[in-house]
Amino acid sequence: MIYQAQPPLEFIPPAFNPLFLRFFHSFLPLWLRSQTTINHIEAENVEVLVKLYREFQEKKIRFLLAFRHPQTEDPFSLVYLLSQIVPRVARQQSITLESPIHAHFIYDRGIPLWAGGYVGWLASQLGGTPIQRGKADWTGLRSARDLFANGKFPMAAAPEGATNGLSEKMSPLEPGIAQMGFWCAEDLQKAGRTEQVLIVPVGIKYSYVDAPWGAIAQLLDELAVASGLPVDTTANTQVPDLESLYPRLLTLAEHLLSLMEQFYTRFYHLQLSVVTEEVGVDRNEALKLRLQALLNAALQIAEQYFNIQSKGSLSDRCRRVEQAGWNYIFREDYKDIKGLSAVERALGDRVAEEANARMWHMRLVESFVAVSGNYIREKPTVERFAETVLIVWQMLAKIQGAKSFQRPKLGKQKVKITIGKPLSITEMYPKYKESRLGARQAVADFTNDLQQAMDNLL
């Protein structure tokens, strides 16, 4: 949390350091084992990626890895893929690739604000370039555009824009990846270069080595206690499984929704339509309807304060609120902060504190943007159950003002990375350049194609 007004956020320029990358590659396996739940990473269709890197190094193509982003650990799995698995498969195929195998990447400029300033330095040394998501960040866009067309390595970015906590459910893709691809094609054409431009969908899926039902049951107990529900001690005599834990999860969700509905109704004077089983709706459907109404109301609290219209998807609305909050905290008129009077600085701090308070509502919402209400029912697996419980845990952590959001480690996991069929930007470029309307339609069409391709990797 930032409670004082600040000068504008500075751009962190990419400053790729090959020596630091070498150290990072050597340290990564140990870090994965000691700091994450990941104990195995495997990949499918790596031969496709080997071929792409060979053609990239032969200056035949430029490409971007568009990867799924269910968890914060995803980038580390991708670095492991590029540094360990791709070189191994290349050797098996007797294909020589220049070392290192790496990718420039785009990351959210807000990450160093909550993860620590050192993260911005690390990302810079690894060749990453930041972007502010909720506005037209021309400095960030120019840097990413230049790296795509001229960088030493291919690009990598998450077209969903943020993590959603769900391995088997995609959030709607943002159009930025398609736009970056067309800009790259445009820049290459202007420079008289003949490289083809490709976007490569990459799936990332997590599964547990052993089903951690015991750890899930314990976490449900902790969440029940935190939210004021009694813990059923008789359940401790049973072997936990989905059948026994699912009713407990529904009860917890219903209780938390009731608490939040009362909170927003009493203290923010909002009218929330309450859906119950009496109107013929089953528990899951009632939860879904109540959750959507609550998320909408919570966002409205922030939107009204920042004078933002409530339009678009929940994700779009969250990004606009986030950027409005950053604008109140990181002030263009505070570039010369030492020149401000004590009263001006105090007033600025008051605005920053209030902006943080309003952004808190948005942070609750962004945890639930991909929650559908039937994620577990449509495929009742331990992975889906655990992911849902962890989302609830994250919500309670935010409500209680936790300074760290290190998720509980329920059990060891394995990661499967799947390389999809590359999609050609170059083939659609003629439509993009024919007119402004054609450009917008080409971006929309390519984004839809990419969404479908990534959905197929689930």
Q: Which of 313, 251, 299, 296 is nearest to 277 (CA)?
A: 251
Q: Are residues 24 and 71 in the same domain?
A: yes
- List all residues 6 or more positions away from 175 whose beta carbon is below 8 Å from its beta carbon: 443, 444, 447
Q: For residues 453 and 450, give the distance between their C-alpha atoms in angstroms, rounded to a whole number.
A: 5
Question: Is residue 10 a part of any domain in this protein?
Answer: no
239 with 387, same domain? yes
3-state helix, strand, coil in the chain (%, to 5): 60, 10, 30
The predicted model scores a pTM of: 0.92
Tell whether 11 is covered by a domain. Answer: no
For residue 364, is it within any domain? yes
What are 333-350's pLDDT values in tens digits? Answer: 888 888 899 999 999 999
Q: pLDDT, tens digit, for every residue of 342-392?
A: 999 999 999 999 999 999 999 999 888 778 778 998 999 999 999 999 999
Q: What is the mean pLDDT of residues 280-308?
A: 89
Does one domain contain both 143 and 261?
no
Per-position DSSP letters for 150-200, written without gaps between them: H-SS-EEE-TTSS--S-TT-PPPPPTHHHHHHHHHHHHHHHTT---EEEEE
Same domain, 30 and 126: yes
* DSSP 8-state secondary structure symbol assigned to residue 6: B
374 and 301, same domain (yes or no): yes
- Are residues 225 and 371 both part of a single domain? yes
Other beta carbons within 10 Å of 33: 12
If asked whether residues 324 and 450 sit together in one domain, one would say no
- Number of domains comprising the chain: 2
Neighbour-count burial of 119, counting CB atoms closer than 10 A to its CB (0-12 exposed, 13-18 middle, 19+ buried) = middle
Q: Which of 350, 368, 399 is the last residue of a domain?
A: 399
* Owning domain of residue 147: 18-209+413-456
Task: Give yes or no: residues 154 and 202 share one domain.
Answer: yes
203 with 242, same domain: the answer is no
3-state secondary structure of 136: coil
Same domain as 336, residue 201 = no
- Domain end position, chosen among 376, 399, 422: 399
Pairing of strands 413-419, 196-208: antiparallel
Is there a single domain that holds both residue 104 and residue 134? yes
Tell me the C-alpha distance between 246 and 414, whole Å: 24
The answer to whether residues 134 and 322 touch, using CB atoms and an 8 Å cutoff, is yes
- The whole-angstrom separation of Cα 29 and Cα 73 is 13
**Model confidence over 234-265: pLDDT tens digits?**
655 578 889 999 999 999 999 999 999 999 99
Confirm whether 8 is domain-assigned. Answer: no
| Token pair in block for residue 337 | 């902060």
228 located within any domain? yes
Mean pLDDT, residues 395-420 = 89
Q: How confident is the model at residue 277 (pLDDT cuts 50, 70, 90)?
A: very low
Q: Is residue 12 part of a domain?
A: no
CATH number at residue 156: 3.40.1130.10
**Are 446 and 181 contacting, i.e. CB atoms less than 8 angstroms apart?**
yes
- Domain assignment of residue 383, yes or no: yes
Mean pLDDT rounded to a whole number for the chain: 92
Q: Are residues 374 and 425 in the same domain?
A: no
Percent residues over pLDDT 70 in the chain: 96
Give domain status of residue 352, yes or no: yes
CA distance 441 to 179: 11
- The answer, yes or no, to whether residue 76 has pLDDT greater than 50, is yes
Digit-coded pLDDT (tens) for 129-140 = 999 887 788 999
- Per-residue pLDDT averaged across 39-67, rounded? 97
